[in-house]
Each structure stands twice: as C-alpha cells, then as structure tokens.
Amino acid sequence: MKTLIQNGTLVTASETFTSDILIEDEKIARIGLNLEAHPDHRVDASGKLILPGGIDPHVHLDLKMFDTVSSDDHYTGHKAAAFGGTTTAMDFVALEDKGFDYSVDVWMKMAEKAAIDYSFHMNLTRFDEKIAKEIPSLMKMGVQTLKVFTAYNGRLRLDDGSIFKALQIARDNGMLVMAHCENGDVIETLTAQALAEGRASPIWHALTRPAWGAVESTLRMAAMAEQADAPVYIVHMNAGGEVDMLQYAREHGIKVMGETCPQYLFFTLEHLARPDGAKWICSPPMRTEADNARLWEGLTQNILQTIGTDHCPFFYNGTRPIVHEGNEIAIPGKELGRDDFTKIPNGLPGIQDRMPILWTHGVNAGYITPNQFVAYTSTNPAKIFGLYPKKGALLPGSDADVVIWDPQKKIKYGVAQSHQRTDYNLYEGWDLQGYPEKVFLRGRMIVDGDEWKGRRGDGKFLKRGEGEIL
C-alpha cells in the first residue's frame, strides 16, 4: 500500500521545507519534491504542515488510585491522543510483589486494546538486593527507564541511598532514571497539620506541597546523578526554581534533563481555590504566574527538553454518567474527596489537549518556534527514550507516523471536542488556531478530521534500547 502526501510543508525539529512524502506500507519511503510514484492514495496537503506523530513520554492509563481507577484505559486514552496528533504514548508499570516480569506482563495484558504505539517505564518503588540484581533484566523486555520518587512516604518513595544505587545500576546498563521531585517529609508534616486544623478544601493540596520542596529535590537528584555519573530525567517540572536548578546543573556539565506539562504553563494554585478546584488537583500541584512565566522561559531558551502530559484523568463527578462511544459510563472520581483533599484522586486529562493547546499558546503566541514544538512533543522524547529515528522523525525508513496539521483551523475547544473519557476539560471554551487534520499511524490513517478510523489492538509495543542524553 502506497500513500503520497503532496504539496505540504514538512516541519522537523531542525528544518522547515516544502516536500512530498511517500509512504509504503508502514514506513516513510521517500521525501522530495515532485516525487514520481503510482500510489494507491493521494493526499493533497496544500497549505498544511506535515509533522512527525507526537510522542507523549508521560501518561497514566488504567491506573488504580484511591478506590477508583483513572478513567481512560489503553484504548480510550490512545484514541484521544490520536485526535490530538499523538501516535506514541509511554505509560508506567506498577511494581508488583511478584517482580518485574510479572509486573510488565500485567500491563502488557491491559495494553492489548492499544490504539496507538506504546512503551513502558518501570516505577521503582521498592529496593533491596534482589530487586537490584533484577533491574538489568528490564532492558531485555525493552524497558530502559526507572522512575523513582522523593515523595509519597511509605508508599512509593525510596531513600536517597537506594536512589543512588539505582542510578549506578542504570549507568552500568544503559538505562535512564526518571525522578518525581518533591520533599515527602515536608508534605507529610504539612498535610497532617492542615487536617488537624480542619483545612480540607482543594487549595490545601497545593499549600501542603510547597514549591521549594520540588526545587531542592530537583537539585538533590541532579547532585546524586553527578556523583553516580549517571543521567537523570526530572518529570513534570512545575516550579520556576526547578528551571533554575536544571539550568545550573546543565551549565555545570551534569547529565540532567527536564520535562514540563501544559497544566504548569497555564494554571495556578488560584484555580484550586475555585468552587470546582478539585478539577485542577494533580501532583505536583499548580504554582504561581511567576512559575508559569519561568517555565515558558525554560522552553523558549531550550533549558527544558520535553513536554509530556502526566495524563491521569478522573471524573469530576463520577456519580453522573457520560456517554462515550454510544455507551453510558460513570467511574468514581474527584467527588471521593469532597470533604478531604487527601482523598481526591490526583490527576488531570491532557493527552489530546497537549499539541493543539501548545500550538496556539506556544507557537502562535511566539514562545516557541514550530521546530521547537516538534522537538519538545516528538523528536526529543524519541531520542531520550531510545526510539529515534524509528519514531519522532520524518526520514526515509522511519515509521510513517505522520500528522497533517492545519495551522489555520479554528476551534472553540472543550469537553465536546475532546475524546478523553471524562466529564470536564481544563481548557473549556478556549479559542484555538491550529489543529490536526489527518493522523497516520505506521502509514494507516487513524484520524480523518472528526472521523475515527483507528481500531482497538492496532497499537504495537515498542521495545526500547539505550537513549541519548540531550
């Protein structure tokens, strides 16, 4: 099967140029002007941009939390991703008592319904000598990343000594450690004090997780990475001070990389003070307008490396069903914590929103260039996580994950346009300009305007090897 996309403008992480692109079966076969071919299908991309499919390095699907589960699974979340221009998503495997093999197998079974390509990171939430010896086996499974936490005492957190040993093991085996950076001790203390004083509304979720805890933990992780001579990737950077620490560490030659998410560019802790503040509860929390501005500077100045979503949606009111794909569905959600912020499921929808929101408010607003947009949302994640140039590239031989992007299309965005399986959208009523028109996964069109052409089970698991340090 051959598809010829003609007259488009290709946008990569480094170049912008007019070209045709020939797809044969699942791969990009040729790129050039006036390609001579006898395709089965022709697509006229005049006036449109051609981008590599987006890669979301940070999502949570089918995630159990607080007596419920995130409302998107590996089909519904992937479908939503595709409508937003994302063709690869990376989820996190929960470490079960039965070990790495068993844990990965559990998530592989849940992902059998995947609609786009996918990969996994491993949450390293326990550490002992047995686990230490088994970590290298993850590479044979195609999982090259370990996620550690400096928060969630007694549940997910490792002590610094164990994190340091994990960094050494990763260094010796071509792996990468990702880190959730907050100060767990401070959080536990402030949370207990707030509840004792009857302070249980959503705003206290943010007030008990101070930004300075994220800042000092980021620098601490960078320092441990330097002492272990190992790279580290800081997830969901949310505070301006974290950008400062990232810049400082990188200027001193430390192999540290940083990710932020759209929610930290646009919202503040004041959103949690609203009557519907539970909608904005995630961990780490929103910060201030000054933090928003510094994060944008981090993107403009190429201090940060990627933009993920930390997509982990829950219903705002799970007692009221919504209609999704013609069926009524209701899943317990943020109403579980109506009287106690510590019981509100932590997480937000975002997997579909990421690229359209960033195009309008990042590219069109002049914060980032179209090439930076491609780098942050596709090429850099592919390089860091061992997928490039199979993914994240418009090159002969790359997978034909292609987005035809209409930079002129205007849309009033919100829950009615979103395919994320939840009952609200953070960007309700926002006016957007620039949106995916057609999306191809390995050469097969899965989104055509408003029409879904994808299928359950079409997504493939991506075994990853050693990535690059950017």
Share of the chain above pLDDT 70, in %: 100
Q: Identify the pLDDT of residue 359.
A: 98
244 and 212 Cβ atoms separated by less than 8 Å: no
What's the confidence (pLDDT) of residue 37?
Answer: 80
Cα 58 off chain centre by: 3
108, 111, 393 from 53: Cα distances, Å: 22, 20, 8
- Backbone φ and ψ for 38, nearest 5 degrees, come out as -125, 75
Where in 217-364 does DSSP place strands (E)? Answer: 232-234, 256-260, 306-307, 322-324, 327-329
Q: Provide the token pair at 369.
A: 């260039």
Instruction: Map residue 103 onto helix, strand or coil.
Output: helix
Whole-angstrom Cα distance, residue 56 to residue 351?
8
Which amino acid, residue 325? E
DSSP reduced 3-state for 172: helix
Lookup result for tokens 């692109």? 21
CA distances to 8, 56, 133, 161, 225 from 168, rounded to whole Å, are 46, 27, 12, 11, 9
Tracing tokens 């441990």 back to the chain, one arrives at 224
CA 133 to the chain's CA centroid: 29
pLDDT in tens, 370-408: 999 999 999 999 999 999 999 999 999 999 999 999 999
Q: Residue 327's Cα: distance from chain center in Å?
A: 27
Look up residue 135 and give its amino acid: I
pLDDT in tens, 426-466: 999 999 999 999 999 999 999 999 999 999 999 999 999 89
CB atoms within 10 A of CB 35: 16
* Rg of the chain on CA atoms, in Å: 21
Q: Which residues contact 162 (CB under 8 A, 6 or more apart)?
A: 127
Q: Can you tell me the distance from the alpha carbon of 443 to that of 465, in angstroms, rounded to the nearest whole number? A: 23
Tell me the three state secondary structure of residue 112. Answer: helix
pLDDT tens-place string over residues 37-48: 889 999 999 999
Question: Please, what is the end-to-end C-alpha distance for the chain in angstroms?
Answer: 36
Domains and CATH numbers, the chain: 2-52+390-408+431-452 (2.30.40.10), 54-384 (3.20.20.140)
> Contact, 348 vs 311, CB < 8 A?
yes
The average pLDDT across 121-125 equals 98
- Mean pLDDT computed over 192-199: 98
Q: What is the pLDDT of residues 349-368, one digit of tens each?
A: 999 999 999 999 999 999 99
Percent of the chain's residues with pLDDT above 90 = 98
Residue 38: per-residue pLDDT: 87
pLDDT tens-digit profile of 276-333?
Answer: 999 999 999 999 999 999 999 999 999 999 999 999 999 999 999 999 999 999 999 9
Distance (Å, whole) CA 465 – CA 104: 16
Indicate the residue type of 204. Answer: W
* Mean pLDDT computed over 59-75: 96
**What's the rounded Cα separation, in Å, for the pair 10 and 14?**
11
Amino acid 189 reads T
Residue 417 predicted with pLDDT over 90: yes
Helix residue spans in 197-262 (DSSP H): 203-207, 211-228, 240-251
Assign 257 to helix, strand or coil. Answer: strand
Q: What is the DSSP letter of 384?
A: H
List, in sequence order, the alpha helices (H) in 47-114. 76-83, 100-110
Residue from 210, 213, 275, 273 nearest 245 by CA: 213
For residue 318, how many other CB atoms are within 10 A of its CB? 21
Q: Which of 151, 153, 135, 152 is nearest to 143 (CA)?
A: 135
Provide the pLDDT confidence category of residue 128 given band limits of 50, 70 and 90.
Answer: very high
Compute how many other C-beta atoms are within 10 angstroms of the C-beta atom of residue 212: 12
* Residue 36 binned pLDDT confidence (cut-offs 50, 70, 90): confident
pLDDT at 467: 96
Residue reference for tokens 């991506």: 462
Residue 227: its pLDDT value, please? 98
Q: Structure tokens of 293? A: 């501005």
Neighbours of 129 (CB within 10 A): 8
Place 34 in a pLDDT band, splitting at 50, 70 and 90. Answer: confident
Query: Phi first, then psi: what are they for 419, rounded to 5°?
Result: -100, 5
Which residues lie closer than 8 Å to 301 by C-beta, 6 or more apart? Answer: none
Residue position matching structure tokens 């930390």? 310
Angle of helix 289-300 relative to helix 240-251, nearest 10 degrees? 30
Which spans in 24-180 are helix H?
76-83, 100-110, 129-134, 137-140, 160-172
Cis check for the bond before 284: say yes or no (omega within 30 of 0).
yes
- pLDDT averaged over the chain? 97
